[in-house]
Amino acid sequence: MSVRGLGKTYRIGSAGHRPTTAVEAIMARLRSPWAKSRFTEFDALDGVDLDVPWGEALGIVGRNGAGKSTLLKLLTRVTAPTRGRIELHGRMGSLLEVGTGFSGELTGRENIYLNGAILGMTRKEIRSSFDEIVDFSGVAKFLDTPVKRYSSGMYVRLAFSVAAHLRTEILAIDEVLAVGDAEFQRKSLAKMRDVAKDGRTVLYVSHLVQTVTALCTSAVYLDRGRLTYAGSVDGALDVYRRSFEQFAMEQQDPERRPGTGTLRASSLIPASDVFDPAESKRFVLGVGSNPDLVGSYFVSIHVNDASGAVVAQCDSRAVGGWYEASKEQEIQLTLRAPWLKPGRYTVDAFVCQTGVLDAWEGASAFEVLPATPYPEMTLDEATAQGVVLADYDYEGR
């Protein structure tokens, strides 16, 4: 597979700019002048050259909005490139966002055949993989149910199984392993490794660094639409990790942060770098002063998980938190619930009035220890699903 000078330009006004980070979403919602003037036309991807030999499992990493999904959408012809050339030399099977590829009204069985046909498989070819697909997916009982009735887990399992077993020469997978449970993740990684060993090519986008390490034989790093690293998996992940540190450092300089700048946060300090899942998490947000600022302001602190998803939006307005800009403030946030799963979290801070005065992405970070808050069970499988840990009881006999 080879790609030369590949680029995609989006224009606001036609499709509009889709915010990808929490900060962008907030800026767009509050219609700050910064967000308006910043995007009119922009390159989601530009000047990408890439050669992927057969049998390679290529990881594609980069920060939110770097253009990873756009690259896969261009390669799978979901979107047309604005410029550049793509030579695949083979058929491409793909699993992009959940919800694409399958027709909700059709049953699982019908979707398997439909997908195969779309990929240019003969009925005989599809039939020869059919049992394997069904076995792997674990949805045998629901084969004659329309897929719109499937849970998201069942849907992903079947979609993955179809994409991995139909004998396309290239397989493109975007982020889906984050959806499935731990057992399915393990199975899918092993399956993708087999696919690559078979001499087929795997393209794999993920925020889950461990899965990139476990699966990929090489990797590329995308930075704001440009491919700035191509080489070993370790090399790409190293650049990826350093980009977070670099970004966090840049954002410490208020001048480089979005927002009107009428009032800026000065610090965001967690009570500890590590917390237990169920303990209260405290943060102190320092905010400067501006005697010219009329009226009070509010703040919002967001906690994001490792994939960048916002787990909690703690807006001070919701609990009556309004502050005066005439003097410097130290504002304390105590986050009692939900219980957070073990892992690394980043924290964003916003200072707002009618618009955003300061948007500080990655103002702080903390870790939640791999401890269990539950009195009995410590098995992984008991907590594998779900975004957070629930505080619950059971009663009955």
Ligand X SMILES: Nc1ncnc2c1ncn2[C@@H]1O[C@H](COP(=O)(O)OP(=O)(O)OP(=O)(O)O)[C@@H](O)[C@H]1O
| Residues engaged in binding ligand X (CB under 6 A) | 10, 15-18, 20, 44, 62, 64-70
In the sheet that holds 265-270, the strands lie side by side as: 265-270, 281-287, 329-335
- Judged by beta carbon, residue 308 or residue 373, the one nearer ligand X is 308
Tell the smallest beta-carbon distance from residue 62 to ligand X (Å): 5
Q: Could you give the angle at which helices 152-165 and 123-137 cross, rounded to 10 degrees?
A: 140
Tell the smallest beta-carbon distance from residue 253 to ligand X (Å): 23
- Judged by beta carbon, residue 296 or residue 307, the one nearer ligand X is 307
- Judged by beta carbon, residue 11 or residue 89, the one nearer ligand X is 11
Q: Could you give the angle at which helices 152-165 and 182-197 cross, rounded to 10 degrees?
A: 10
Q: Nearest-5° angle of CA 40, CA 45, CA 50?
A: 170
**Cβ–Cβ contacts within 10 Å for residue 203, how many?**
26
- Judged by beta carbon, residue 10 or residue 297, the one nearer ligand X is 10
Q: Under a CB-based contact definition with an 8 Å cutoff, are residues 187 and 42 in contact?
A: no
- Judged by beta carbon, residue 303 or residue 325, the one nearer ligand X is 303
- Judged by beta carbon, residue 60 or residue 202, the one nearer ligand X is 60
Tell the smallest beta-carbon distance from residue 201 to ligand X (Å): 19
| Separation of alpha carbons 155 and 160, rounded Å | 8
What dihedral angle (degrees, nearest 10) is formed by the CA atoms of 225, 230, 233, 239? -60
CB proximity list for 124: less than 8 A, separation 6 or greater: none
Tell the smallest beta-carbon distance from residue 212 to ligand X (Å): 13
- Judged by beta carbon, residue 169 or residue 223, the one nearer ligand X is 223
Hey, what are 364's tokens? 């702080």
Burial 332-349 (b: 16+ CB within 10 A, else e): ebebeebbbbeeebbbbb
Q: How many residues does the chain have?
A: 397
What dihedral angle (degrees, nearest 10) is formed by the CA atoms of 80, 84, 86, 92? -30
Tell the smallest beta-carbon distance from residue 376 to ligand X (Å): 37
| Separation of alpha carbons 374 and 371, rounded Å | 9
CB proximity list for 357: less than 8 A, separation 6 or greater: 259, 260, 261, 262, 263, 264, 297, 351
- Judged by beta carbon, residue 111 or residue 211, the one nearer ligand X is 211
- Judged by beta carbon, residue 247 or residue 322, the one nearer ligand X is 247
Tell the smallest beta-carbon distance from residue 68 to ligand X (Å): 4
- Judged by beta carbon, residue 219 or residue 389, the one nearer ligand X is 219
**Cβ–Cβ contacts within 10 Å for residue 306, how many?**
13
Q: Under a CB-based contact definition with an 8 Å cutoff, are residues 108 and 148 in contact?
A: no
